[in-house]
Amino acid sequence: MALAGMRELLEKSLAESKDVTPSDKMFLHDGELYTTMICCPETLKILDTFEARSDDVILVGYPKTGTNWVGQILVELEAASGKYDEEERKKRCTGQNEKELLLFPYLEFGDPAKFERMKKLPSRRVVKTHLAPQKLPKSIYQKKAKILVLFRNPKDTAVSYLHFANGMKLFPTQKSWDEFFSDFISGKVPYGLYLNHIIEWNKYLDDKNVMFMTYEEIKENPALEMKRMAEFFDFSVSKQEIQSIVEKTTFKAMKDQAAETNEGIGNILFRKGIVGDWKNVFSEAQNEEMDRKFEEIVARTKLGKMIKYDVYCKG
């Protein structure tokens, strides 16, 4: 779902955060931590009532792997492929339909009645979530909806997560990098241990309805990766349309667009948008700890190799 909805939700959460007592900021559901700032237990409890459609465009990514960016790319590809008139195109690309239905930008965010309201969204719906594969609503698999799974190197993901969490006041108190690193590496953050998500998705390598992509690959060659997305989701788009989407979804274009409505939230959502920022933040000991943990849990899996840890997280 498009970005406008995301900004509004974050603005609302931020405004309300001063009324939330620190101990009420997190809750556990099904063994995983969530933040009350954007999720509510009732919604998570009835997640399985979400009715997927076979033509849904599902985007899954752990927080801070670039899901707002890739979500917007998918919304634009869907709109270009749908050959809608200008008014409908705009509605879809700015999230107007979602806004009218008071929908929240990620499947698990917001109130439980949203799944009912989502039925009114016209196809093809672009549905984003941060959930791990074993927690996705069953109908997504039953309907064989196609799923794009996004990864980002864990070191940049961690740095991005800290800035977002502090900016959004997600935790009871503001965290230093050292404190956050230790939570991140032990999975004591909303959505749990990132490396576990990679391990779980590794079980879906042979599923033809699942495609994996990395933030770094898209940064390196956005046109090529958008072409892959279009082929996977059966979007019919021309080379020129892809080029135009590449230009509309650069980091600068998206940040400028966000600044037009709300600079504060824009600065939280669009921070640096680069690869390798971790080098400015990780200590030697933290580097070693992350390298060791990656080696232990993920490195030998196929997906572990696919995310090119040695290229993006070493040196």
Length of the chain: 315
Task: Candidates 3, 32, 66, 237: give the one binding ligand A3P (CB under 6 A).
Answer: 66
Strand partners, 35: 26
Task: Report in angstroms how near the CB of residue 119 gets to ligand A3P at its nearest.
Answer: 26
Window of 18-26, 93-101, 183-191, 270-278 that interacts with ligand A3P by CB under 6 A: 270-278
Task: Report in angstroms how near the CB of residue 21 gets to ligand A3P at its nearest.
Answer: 26
Window of 40-48, 117-125, 170-178, 247-255 that interacts with ligand A3P by CB under 6 A: 247-255
Task: Candidates 32, 156, 217, 225: give the one binding ligand A3P (CB under 6 A).
Answer: 156
With CA atoms as reference, report the closest residue to 178 among 192, 164, 196, 159: 159
Task: Candidates 254, 265, 298, 307: give the one binding ligand A3P (CB under 6 A).
Answer: 254
DSSP states of 73-123: HHHHHHHHHHT--HHHHHHHHTTHHHHHTT--SBTTBS-TTHHHHHTTSPS
Helix axes 194-201, 284-297, angle to 10 degrees: 20
For 277, residues 6+ apart whose C-beta sits below 8 A from its C-beta are 156, 159, 160
Task: Report in angstroms how near the CB of residue 195 gets to ligand A3P at its nearest.
Answer: 17
Nearer CB in complex with ligand A3P: 44/59: 59
State the virtual CA torsion across 93, 111, 30, 188 in degrees, nearest 10: 70
Task: Report in angstroms how near the CB of residue 249 gets to ligand A3P at its nearest.
Answer: 5
Q: For residues 250 and 243, give the distance between their C-alpha atoms in angstroms, rounded to a whole number.
A: 11
Amino acid in position 107: L
Preceding omega of 124 cis (within 30 degrees of 0): yes
Provide the 3-class DSSP secondary structure of residue 67: helix
Task: Candidates 104, 109, 270, 294: give the one binding ligand A3P (CB under 6 A).
Answer: 270
Q: Is 197 a catalytic residue?
A: no
Nearer CB in complex with ligand A3P: 43/249: 249
Site string for ligand A3P, 83-112 (x = CB under 6 A): ------------------------------
Is 7 a binder of ligand A3P (CB under 6 A)? no
Q: For residues 32 and 80, give the distance between their C-alpha atoms in angstroms, rounded to a whole number.
A: 37
Task: Candidates 53, 89, 228, 271: give the one binding ligand A3P (CB under 6 A).
Answer: 271
Task: Report in angstroms how near the CB of residue 277 gets to ligand A3P at its nearest.
Answer: 6
Task: Candidates 251, 262, 291, 299: give the one binding ligand A3P (CB under 6 A).
Answer: 251
Is 272 a binder of ligand A3P (CB under 6 A)? yes
Task: Candidates 112, 187, 273, 276: give the one binding ligand A3P (CB under 6 A).
Answer: 273
Whole-angstrom distance between the N-terminal and C-terminal Cα of the chain? 36
For 203, residues 6+ apart whose C-beta sits below 8 A from its C-beta are 133
Is 309 a binder of ligand A3P (CB under 6 A)? no
The two beta strands, 26-29 and 57-61, are unpaired
Is 160 a binder of ligand A3P (CB under 6 A)? yes
Give the footprint of ligand A3P on residues 183-222 (CB under 6 A).
none
Q: Which residues are catalytic?
A: 130
Under the rule (CB under 6 A), what is the footprint of ligand A3P? 61, 63-69, 156, 160, 163, 249-251, 254, 270-273, 277
